[in-house]
Homo-oligomer: A and B are copies of this chain.
Amino acid sequence: MNAYCTIAIDAMGGDRGPSATVPAALTVIARHPDVRLELVGDLDALRQALQKYGGQEGQQLSLIAASEVVAMDESPSQALRYKKDSSMRVAIERVKSEEAAACVSAGNTGALMATARYVLKTLPGIDRPAICTIIPCLNGHFRMLDLGANIDCSAEHLFQFAVMGSVLVEASGDAETPRVGLLNLGEEEIKGNDQVKQAAQLLQASDLNYIGYVEGDTMYQNQADLVVCDGFIGNVALKSSEGVAKMISQYLREEFSRSPLTKLAGLLSLPVLKALRRRLDPRFYNGASLLGLRGVVVKSHGGADAFAFERAIETGILEAKEAIPQRIDQRLGELFRSGEGA
């Protein structure tokens, strides 16, 4: 038996493959003496990358062969049916066989979700896994789910998301009794659809710390630790936010490079701009959790560099150590299966 916390890495996934995943893995094992990483993929490519980044196989690092790679634009069903020896699939199967406590992939979201669901299955009582990520907000951050795995969600689905997300926030140490908000329209409008209204009732009646509706703007004011919504809305909210942040940063660049004087101002403002960047750096928040599965699966942004991918591995380690799926299962059992002796 080994006392290591073992994480399987889809080392070929993402836009950068081993040139991001391998250096990230090396940094992480140096930081965590109790963590063992399995790099899954093409052995030649991985050995080359190890050499390039000054690492080697050992107690904390092993290579596992996988002959295929799921392309970033490959359809989930295609990947599921024809890529049975993909680095993504093999990494997930390490979790299924309990040789690893988590897997991390920067591969395509749809394929990862479909494969993880097929191989690991969902927890009892969970109809649909959800994607949950951290989003920076005023003087802090919050988590949000779902972000695109589920388009049409019933009130029960939204409630399940709230339970799963609360467990994750608690386990992460961010809040003891996470403030849970339901994303909804402004107060002036007719408030939300039936699903949201019914989910509000379920949350109100539960022992979760439900704080009521939050809106797209107020959620950035550190109103809630967890924001719950269906995947379509969550995806649009997250991407709109990214779109605006990118536009503003491009405008800042343009305006600072307009004249010699503004260039000088820009030079003097470098510490300010760097501090701003640090506070909003999406790389720091990389690593979305696929919640509701019988195992930990973390999705890194496809374009992640080594630093960003490190963060995704850290998320996997946290969730593995905190046994998130088991805790969610237990919580669901308390909530739903109390009468059934389960």
User: What B residues does A190 contact at CB under 8 A?
Assistant: 76, 110, 151
Which of B246, B255, B265 contacts A220 (CB under 8 A)? B246
Decide if A217 touches B239 in the complex (CB within 8 Å). yes
Nearest-Cβ distance from residue A254 to partner chain B, whole angstroms: 9
Interface mask (A216-252 → B, CB under 8 Å = 1, otherwise 0) = 1111110000000101110111111111111110111
A259's nearest neighbour on chain B, judged by CB, is: B271
Is A207 engaged at the interface, CB distance under 8 Å to the other chain? no
Q: Interface size (A, Cβ < 8 Å)?
A: 66
Decide if B148 touches A186 in the complex (CB within 8 Å). yes
Which chain A residues (88-102) contact chain B, with CB distance < 8 Å? none
A239's nearest neighbour on chain B, judged by CB, is: B216
Decide if B185 touches A235 in the complex (CB within 8 Å). yes
Nearest-Cβ distance from residue A174 to partner chain B, whole angstroms: 18
Decide if B247 touches A276 in the complex (CB within 8 Å). no
Cα of A151 to Cα of B185 in the assembled complex, Å = 9
User: What B residues does A156 contact at CB under 8 A?
Assistant: none
A108's nearest neighbour on chain B, judged by CB, is: B188
List 17 A–B pairs whose Cβ atoms lie within 8 Å, in order of A's numbering: A73-B187, A108-B188, A138-B247, A138-B250, A151-B190, A185-B235, A185-B236, A186-B239, A188-B302, A193-B232, A216-B239, A219-B240, A236-B237, A255-B272, A256-B269, A261-B271, A264-B268
User: What B residues does A148 contact at CB under 8 A?
Assistant: 185-186, 188-189
User: What B residues does A279 contact at CB under 8 A?
Assistant: 251
A250's nearest neighbour on chain B, judged by CB, is: B138
Is A149 engaged at the interface, CB distance under 8 Å to the other chain? yes
User: What B residues does A137 contact at CB under 8 A?
Assistant: 247
Interface mask (A193-215 → B, CB under 8 Å = 1, otherwise 0) = 10000000000000000000001
Is A86 engaged at the interface, CB distance under 8 Å to the other chain? no
User: What B residues does A303 contact at CB under 8 A?
Assistant: none
